[in-house]
């Protein structure tokens, strides 16, 4: 296990009380807290380096550009991207997937084609493909899941029989914690002639990611889920695909020459980064990656798996609690229900003990329907959580159950 006390000291917000109690922050799948190193990097950028990038000939603008492009190289190295120019900065996974749907999808999907997603996808990896298929007259095919919360490989194979143009799936389910066999899925999809899009929002912060080993075509990530600033993230793509794609947004920086009635476009990745970018977020994301590298992605993954396993072992001993998702091949996300207590009530009661969890459909309504629930409660762990916080979660949950007449076993 990690030295949680030492790590926790690096996060100023975690030192403040919540409702008069020690803060137990277990909503890391939604967003993570930020270490002092990230806060310092953002503040230092504004104190010493702030200028618009790529456009100025003066030293301050050159230093700002260097900071921005250094951050791009940092992201590329962290996920073993094909090249730094294959990293497009976005506001996060949602914008990255919309970029693929809006640029690659519009240029390549036609009426009668199909796009494949899964029943465990976050809305961010579902709605953009719905919009694309509706616009193009294509078919959206949703692959089912197994009873224990995995992608049904048999149904995945059936979906590939139509030779879809695009296959999209999550590396890690935000609602179930399932770690999908992404390299296997990508190989199968490529054999069927599809381009592969991986939602990496829940994998990049928690696992050692290698996009070239996965052999996907597009990989989307969110910085705020990996200790970085809000509004930071990236699309990581094979450069040759970006070269062939039309722009997604129009404006400054993404152009080469502009005439009255047409334009030519900048080289990648700048072709997809119209307007003034969120430079401080990129700098903060680079600092977050440096922090994660110091701790070690493999050690973080092992730590989270241990916390999730401990939480599941204790939760299933509470009569009336149902835990969703597989028991192995999972990340530090634990979704559960407690009898007929609404998950929102659970979250509200736990909050009184300073415990922050998520309650709702987790932007995965098709999945909730397959689980036959309207919502679940979700505890999600990260490197600054410890076994004592698992105990706090379980103890507070038992107290919540008592309020609704559930008697501890």
Domains by residue range for the chain, with CATH: 4-27+296-403 (3.90.1150.10), 49-293 (3.40.640.10)
Residue 404: HSE in the Cβ half-sphere, 13 Å Cα cutoff: 15
Averaged pLDDT for residues 301-317? 97
- First CA to last CA across the chain, in angstroms? 29
- Rounded to the nearest integer, the mean pLDDT of the chain is 97
Question: Tokens in use for 311?
Answer: 């939480």
Quick check: 81 pLDDT over 90?
yes
Q: For residue 203, what pLDDT is reported?
A: 98
Q: For residue 409, what pLDDT is reported?
A: 61
Label the pairing between strands 24-25 and 355-356.
Answer: parallel
Transcribe 213-234 into DSSP letters: HHT-SEEEEEGGGGT--TT-EE
pTM of the model: 0.97
Q: For residue 370, what pLDDT is reported?
A: 96
pLDDT digit string, tens, across residues 210-240: 999 999 999 999 999 999 999 999 999 999 9
Q: For residue 250, what pLDDT is reported?
A: 94
CA dihedral 336, 342, 344, 347 (to 10 degrees): -50
Burial class (CB in 10 A: 0-12, 13-18, 19+), 379: buried
pLDDT digit string, tens, across residues 274-289: 999 999 999 999 999 9
Averaged pLDDT for residues 124-134? 98
Quick check: 98 pLDDT over 70?
yes
- Compute how many other C-beta atoms are within 10 angstroms of the C-beta atom of residue 100: 27
Q: For residue 56, what pLDDT is reported?
A: 87
Question: Tokens in use for 191?
Answer: 């054999």
Question: Tokens in use for 165?
Answer: 């143009």
Is 363 in the active site? Answer: yes
Averaged pLDDT for residues 382-407? 95
Q: For residue 171, what pLDDT is reported?
A: 98
Measured in whole angstroms, the distance separating CA 13 from the mean position of its chain's CA atoms is 22
H helices within 79-119, ranges in order? 93-99, 106-108
**pLDDT band at 407, cuts 50/70/90?**
confident
The rounded distance, in Å, linking the Cα atoms of 388 and 380 is 14
pLDDT digit string, tens, across residues 22-78: 999 999 999 999 999 999 999 999 999 999 999 889 999 999 999 999 999 999 999
Which of the following is catalytic: 133, 216, 356, 363? 363
3-state SS class at 184: helix
3-state SS class at 33: coil
The rounded distance, in Å, linking the Cα atoms of 191 and 174 is 27
Handedness of CA 109, 113, 119, 120 (dihedral sign): negative
Q: For residue 1, what pLDDT is reported?
A: 83
pLDDT digit string, tens, across residues 289-306: 999 999 999 999 999 999
pLDDT digit string, tens, across residues 147-184: 999 999 999 999 999 999 999 999 999 999 999 999 99
Q: For residue 261, what pLDDT is reported?
A: 94
């Amino acid at each position: 296990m990690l030295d949680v006390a030492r790590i926790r000291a690096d996060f100023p917000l975690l030192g403040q009380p919540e409702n008069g109690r020690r803060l137990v922050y277990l909503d890391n799948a939604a967003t993570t807290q930020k270490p002092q190193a990230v806060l310092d990097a953002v503040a230092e950028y504004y104190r010493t380096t702030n200028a618009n990038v790529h456009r100025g000939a003066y030293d301050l603008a050159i230093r700002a550009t260097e900071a921005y492009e250094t951050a791009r190289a940092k992201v590329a190295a962290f996920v073993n991207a094909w090249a730094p120019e294959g990293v497009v900065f976005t506001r996060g996974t949602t914008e990255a997937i919309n970029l693929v749907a809006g640029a690659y999808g519009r240029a390549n999907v036609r009426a009668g084609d199909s796009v494949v997603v899964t029943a465990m996808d976050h809305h961010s990896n579902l709605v953009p493909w719905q919009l694309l298929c509706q616009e193009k007259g294509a078919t959206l095919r949703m692959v089912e899941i197994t009873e224990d919360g995995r992608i049904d490989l048999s149904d995945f194979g059936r979906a590939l029989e139509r030779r879809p143009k695009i296959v999209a799936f999550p590396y890690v389910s935000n609602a179930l914690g399932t770690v999908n066999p992404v390299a296997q899925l990508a190989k199968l999809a490529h054999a069927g002639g599809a381009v592969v899009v991986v939602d990496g929002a829940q994998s990049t912060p928690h696992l050692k990611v290698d996009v070239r080993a996965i052999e996907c075509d597009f990989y989307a990530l969110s910085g705020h889920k990996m200790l970085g600033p809000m509004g930071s993230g990236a699309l990581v793509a094979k450069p040759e695909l970006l070269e062939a794609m039309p722009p997604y947004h129009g404006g400054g920086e993404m152009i080469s020459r502009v005439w009255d009635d047409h334009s030519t476009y900048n080289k990648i990745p700048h072709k997809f980064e119209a307007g003034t970018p969120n430079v401080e977020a990129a700098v903060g994301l680079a600092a977050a990656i440096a922090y994660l590298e110091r701790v070690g992605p493999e050690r973080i993954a092992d730590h989270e798996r241990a916390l999730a396993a401990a939480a599941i072992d204790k939760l299933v001993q509470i009569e009336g609690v149902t835990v969703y998702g597989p028991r192995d091949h999972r990340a530090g996300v634990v979704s559960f229900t407690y009898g007929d207590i609404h998950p929102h009530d659970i979250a509200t009661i736990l909050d009184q003990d300073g415990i922050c969890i998520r309650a709702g459909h987790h932007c995965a309504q098709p999945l909730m329907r397959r689980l036959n629930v309207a919502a679940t409660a979700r505890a999600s762990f990260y490197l600054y959580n410890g076994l004592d916080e698992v105990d706090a979660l379980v103890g507070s949950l038992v107290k919540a159950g008592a309020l609704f007449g559930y008697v501890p076993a």
